[in-house]
Amino acid sequence: MMYLTRRFAFSASHRLHSEVLAANENACTYGVCENIHGHNYRLEVTVAGKPDPKTGFFCNVMELHRIVHELVVVPCDHRYLNDVPLFAGAITTMESLAERMWAAITPALAAKGMTLTEVLLAETDEHWVRLRTD
Ligand code: NI
């Protein structure tokens, strides 16, 4: 199996707040992250496949770019993520964002023969989450 990764970037604001936690619990859990603040997010999407001998590749990287750009980057870039429909009802942690992004792009990628295997979402250069099928 071969893996291909495309990197994306977008800038957005958010705040961490849970509707099921009391005010003091939100403050204890999220600290300053309960305030509206921003990140320069890094998103890496990895798909898997076997190269087609006719083309030498298993996916068209421009198709991968188009799908993720249209379904994730454009809706998120320079937005307040808590108000973005893609994340409605979610706490905008990296974990939740990655799950919603995964769900948003999987059908379109599959329609083009790409099997999604990992979504990496980084808020900073120091921390990120990786969502995988395994
Ligand atoms: Ni944050």
Residue 120 alpha carbon to ligand 1 centre in Å: 16
Is 33 one of the catalytic residues? Answer: yes
Is 78 one of the catalytic residues? Answer: yes
CA distance 122 to 128: 4
One pLDDT digit (tens) per residue for the chain, 134 residues: 899 999 999 999 999 999 999 999 999 999 999 999 999 999 999 999 889 899 988 889 999 999 999 999 999 999 999 999 999 999 999 999 999 999 999 999 999 989 999 999 999 999 999 999 86
Residue 107 alpha carbon to ligand 1 centre in Å: 28
| 2-132 CATH choice from 3.40.47.10, 3.30.70.3170, 3.40.250.10, 3.30.479.10 | 3.30.479.10
Is 14 one of the catalytic residues? Answer: no
**Active-site choice (14, 33, 39, 44):** 33
| Per-position DSSP letters for 57-124, written without gaps between them | -SS-HHHHHHHHIIIIIHHHTTEEGGG-GGGTTS--SHHHHHHHHHHHHHHHHHHTT-EEEEEEEESS
**Would you list the domain boundaries of the chain?**
2-132
